[in-house]
Amino acid sequence: MATPDDINADMLAFWNGSGGHTWVARQEQTDITLASATEALLGFAAPQAGERVVDIGCGCGAPTLEFARAVGPSGCVVGLDISGPMLAEGEKRAKGAGIANIDWRQADPAAAALDEYDLLTSAFGVMFFGDRVAAFANMRRGAAPNARMALVCWRSLAENPWMEVPMRAVAQHLPPRPLTALYERFFATLGRYKRGDATLVKPTYGFIPAYSRLRPMPAARDRVLLVGDAAGRHSPLTFCGFGSMIRSFLPVADALRARLDRGDDRLDARSLAKVWREPPGLAVMGGLTLMMVPGRRPSADPRAVNQLLDAAFASLSELGDEVYGAFVRDQIGFSDFVRFMRATAKRRPSIYDEVFAQLSRAELARWSWKLGGLMLRKWSSG
């Protein structure tokens, strides 16, 4: 995970580069779009004539100019931002408007020594802090006795229809992005399970240690039963074995209780190996697992794996939530797996050439055997 210093360095580079210049170019439209937020901030902050105000992350200065007008010539406003291009635009606008009581300063408000202020304010600036606790502690040190603080800041996407509604409307007319949508759904629902807003620090792609189902599983030891990541018992599309581990707890506990009820308290490796069998639907995912193995892919295109996964998730999305859910829980049945294979091949005709090119004859035979076992399980269950 990126450190606060990493985040601050990324912000400094972005807002002094393309991000800052793009914001300057679109400032007129942005001011119009956010006019109601600026008006609400001013109403809540209630700046008074003669007050000392600091605008944290002032950007191009639309709210800064309004605060300067409100405090009048007897007051003063300091606009703090890390972006040189945006500060230059703000200073230009102030001169054009004949406003002389603003001091534009390029500094990091999270760490810079602050003067003493009667009002500390920010319009969409505080969410960029790498270390929020340290930043607000620094702002507190710049507060005069009885000072006030007034902020405007986005909430999570699920609580922000101003952004969420148009994004959903536009998304209906864009090509499907199932892999990205999976992450978007994850962050949109994260608030149900974890307090506080989620912050995307830095997207990464990496390899997760796992054992392909087309190779022998790691052997258990006496008194040790492998589950979850330790056993590699998860499909390559679930990314990690935490869910698999949690789902194994109840079957393992039931199996151990049944053995003890029969008077069988053996905990040797061979006995434990019979306690938990891998889900049949999991076994047929070995080919895709091998696609993730460094060095086995002939393609040098780093986008190839993500393109393949995107085709797979597009197919799952098309098949509906019931199949989608069964798949990522490693519980998909034979019929739905065949539907998934056909849908994915339709979207990416080269997928099976790509997958099977990674398999030895022995691995291909094992995959066929596993697929046949899944089919027999369907027939035996009716």
Same-domain check for residues 232 and 376: yes
Query: Distance (Å, rounded) from C-alpha 257 to C-alpha 204?
Result: 42
Specify the pLDDT at position 314: 83
Q: How many domains does the chain have?
A: 2
Mean pLDDT of the chain: 78
Same-domain check for residues 272 and 134: no
In a domain, 75, yes or no: yes
In a domain, 126, yes or no: yes
Same-domain check for residues 238 and 371: yes
The pTM of this model reads 0.49
Same-domain check for residues 237 and 332: yes
Specify the pLDDT at position 329: 73
Same-domain check for residues 131 and 242: no
In a domain, 171, yes or no: no
Specify the pLDDT at position 122: 93
Query: Which residues make Cβ contacts (< 8 Å) with residue 282, sequence separation at least 6?
Result: 213, 233, 234, 235, 244, 330
Pair 165, 48: CB distance under 8 Å: no
Residue 194 burial by CB count (10 A; 0-12/13-18/19+): exposed, middle or buried?
A: exposed
130, 153, 176 - which closes a domain: 153
In a domain, 279, yes or no: yes
Between 173 and 345, where is the model more confident?
Answer: 345
Query: Distance (Å, rounded) from C-alpha 204 to C-alpha 277?
Result: 32
In a domain, 96, yes or no: yes
**Is the predicted pLDDT of residue 273 greater than 80, yes or no?**
no
Looking at beta carbons, which pairs linking 177-185 to residues 24 or more positions away fall under 8 Å? 177/310, 178/310, 178/313, 178/314, 178/316, 178/317, 179/306, 179/309, 179/310, 179/313, 181/313, 181/317, 182/313
Same-domain check for residues 274 and 368: yes
- Phi, psi for residue 96 in degrees, rounded to 5: -65, -30
Mean pLDDT within 123-143: 88
Condensed to tens digits (0 to 9), the pLDDT of residues 100-132 reads 999 999 998 888 888 999 999 999 988 888 788
**Is the predicted pLDDT of residue 239 greater than 80, yes or no?**
no
The pair of three-digit structure tokens given for residue 228, joined into one six-digit string: 């979850």
114, 129, 153 - which closes a domain: 153
In a domain, 314, yes or no: yes
Domain that holds residue 278: 228-381
Same-domain check for residues 242 and 367: yes
Same-domain check for residues 127 and 251: no
153, 168, 198 - which closes a domain: 153
Query: Distance (Å, rounded) from C-alpha 66 to C-alpha 47?
Result: 10
Same-domain check for residues 376 and 267: yes
Same-domain check for residues 53 and 139: yes
Q: Which residues of 4-41 are buried (b: 16+ CB within 10 A; e: fewer)?
A: beebbeebeeebbeeebeebbeebeebbeebeeebeeb
Same-domain check for residues 241 and 148: no
Specify the pLDDT at position 73: 93
Of the pLDDT bands very low, low, confident and very high (cuts 50, 70, 90), residue 236 is very low
In a domain, 79, yes or no: yes
Strand partners, 123: 152
**Is the predicted pLDDT of residue 260 greater than 50, yes or no?**
yes
Rg (CA), the chain: 29
**Is the predicted pLDDT of residue 237 greater than 50, yes or no?**
no
In a domain, 191, yes or no: no
Same-domain check for residues 133 and 39: yes
Of 94-98, 170-174, 233-237, which one has max mean pLDDT? 94-98
Mean pLDDT within 241-261: 77
What residue type is assigned to position 131 of the chain?
Answer: D
Q: What is the CATH number of the domain that holds 27?
A: 3.40.50.150
Of the pLDDT bands very low, low, confident and very high (cuts 50, 70, 90), residue 259 is confident
Specify the pLDDT at position 136: 92
